[in-house]
Amino acid sequence: MDNLVGLERDIAAVYQRTLQPIADSLAFDLPNRDTEAAGLPTVLFLGNHSSGKSSFINYLVQAEVQKTGLAPTDDGFTILTYGDKADDFDGQTVVSHPDLAFKPLQRLGPAFHARLRLKTYPADLLRSINLIDSPGMIDAAGTARSRGYDFAAGVRCFAEMADLILFFFDPDKPGTTGETVSIFTETLTGLEHKLLIVLNKVDLFANIRDFARTYGTLCWNLSKAIQTKDVPHIYNTYLPPQALVGGNGHRSLIPLKDFDASRDEVIAEIKRAPTRRADNLVSDLLINARCLAIHARVCSQVGGRLQAIQLKTWSLVAALLVLSVAVIPMTWSSEQWTTPFLVLLGGAALAALAWLGGRYFSRREIKQTSSVEGLDDCFNAAYRHELALQDRADLRALWEKVRSKAMKSIELLGARRLPKGFGFRKQLRRLESVIEHEIPKLRRDIAEHHRQRRLGNTEG
């Protein structure tokens, strides 16, 4: 744990020294980082309503801390953390408390805070891990409006803080439609490395054929919703009847022994959250740094192109003016004194034309770079060397994520005011060195730390 604190401090320093100044100068919204209080490792429970999220949490803490039931039960988020006694705090207290690491939730507004709770409970597991329960997703149109707050923004905020995200499905709703699809395709993008898919309540299957059909449907739907090459591993679990309120469990018609092992694996992953945290902190830093680097290089390309047009325009204007003044002595004669005057006038007119031309090209460039195609063109130009060597799907995927942010920044700052000077290029080189050297070093340190802990455990 000590090493984790040290690591968090190192990472916070990299954010503050290198990423934040570039992000500030480019109006780039770095994902929330509360560097003062990074908080405990956190596990977030997401999924369909009635898929068993709250029951699983109760099973983990061995107490009925969360309400459960077949109808949609939770309509807000609950943070479960360690306390000497069971207690309950409202959302406003949670987001404004200086000792709690939930300040990033402040910006989600009062409607969200009204549906946020923090519960404390004296369970051993909670000493090292926070659990977050969420309202179940409902596959119906118009749910965003009926919730009365921005559910997706809440999920994103918690997902960024979490070290592990458990996504629950149940036999009734293996289809990923409506809210679930948008959460997968939009809200959780870039956080797939934290995701663990759980098909819960497998005790409800009447026979193995039903199980196979549902599992296949879930795989098919996930493959459409998650943009990764492979379908993620799915953990098939259930809770034993005695763990459910009122012994609500089903007498199962299929053999469940194997699924007990799967539940143990899920629990082992939950307990591994502190170990994951170190890796996640570095992964988040790497993703944020790479996104920022792409954003900065594209913005600098946009600014540079505009600067080149302006430079050419002013050079041409100056050359025409200097030339027309320079030819005055050559055209001077006492009989035709109007000639030099006309030459000067002609030179000034050409210079004005050049200036107008420059203005036209600048405006055309600004218009082009405010379109998706124009920005894509700048991205291709900024990364022409990297893209010439091989097709970089990784770079393109990051660019897909960053493009709308880049568009917003350019609109907000104005293409003419984008930073592009020597100082900015130096900052950018520093950021690239962080990506190439400092972050891999942090990874090596963590791997070494894990290795030593494993050795310590086996020797112990």
Q: State how beta strands 87-90 and 116-121 pair.
A: antiparallel
By the rule CB under 6 A, 354 interacts with ligand GTP: no
Work out what residue 120 binds among ligand GTP, Mg ion, none; the CB cut-off runs from 5 to 8 Å by kind.
none
If we measure between CA atoms, which residue out of 161, 206, 186 comes closest to residue 35? 161
Nearer to ligand GTP, 243 or 328 (CB): 243
Which residues neighbour 45 within 8 Å (Cβ) at sequence distance 6 or greater? 53, 54, 56, 57, 131, 132, 133, 134, 166, 168
By the rule CB under 6 A, 248 interacts with ligand GTP: yes
Work out what residue 69 binds among Mg ion, ligand GTP, none; the CB cut-off runs from 5 to 8 Å by kind.
ligand GTP
Binding mask 397-436 for ligand GTP (x = CB under 6 A): ----------------------------------------
Residue count of the chain: 460
Q: Give the CA angle between residues 160, 161, 164 to the nearest 5°.
A: 85
Binding mask 69-88 for ligand GTP (x = CB under 6 A): xx-xxx--------------
Q: Min. distance of Cβ 167 from Mg ion in angstroms?
A: 14
Q: Min. distance of Cβ 370 from ligand GTP in angstroms?
A: 42
- 72 neighbors 147 (Cβ within 8 angstroms): no
Nearer to ligand GTP, 78 or 81 (CB): 78
Nearer to Mg ion, 69 or 109 (CB): 69
Q: Min. distance of Cβ 292 from Mg ion in angstroms?
A: 37
Residues forming contacts to Mg ion in the complex (CB under 5 A) are: 54, 73-74
The pair of structure tokens assigned to 316 is: 């041409």
Which residues neighbour 264 within 8 Å (Cβ) at sequence distance 6 or greater? none
Question: Roughly what angle, to the nearest 10 degrees, separates helices 393-413 and 372-382?
Answer: 120
By the rule CB under 6 A, 261 interacts with ligand GTP: no
Which of 7, 79, 197, 239 binds ligand GTP (CB under 6 A)? It is 239
Nearer to ligand GTP, 190 or 249 (CB): 249
Please count the residues of this chain forming the interface with ligand GTP, following the rule CB under 6 A. 26
Rounded-to-integer distance, Cα 25 and Cα 12, Å: 19
Bridge partner residues of 235 (DSSP): 198
Rounded-to-integer distance, Cα 247 and Cα 51, Å: 16
Rounded-to-integer distance, Cα 271 and Cα 128, Å: 9
By the rule CB under 6 A, 135 interacts with ligand GTP: yes
By the rule CB under 6 A, 249 interacts with ligand GTP: yes
Stretch of residues binding ligand GTP (CB under 6 A), selected from 4-12, 19-27, 46-54, 150-158: 46-54
The pair of structure tokens assigned to 132 is: 């977050």
Using CB under 6 A as the criterion, which residues of the chain lie in contact with ligand GTP when the complex forms? 49-55, 68-70, 72-74, 135-136, 200-201, 203-204, 238-239, 244-245, 248-250
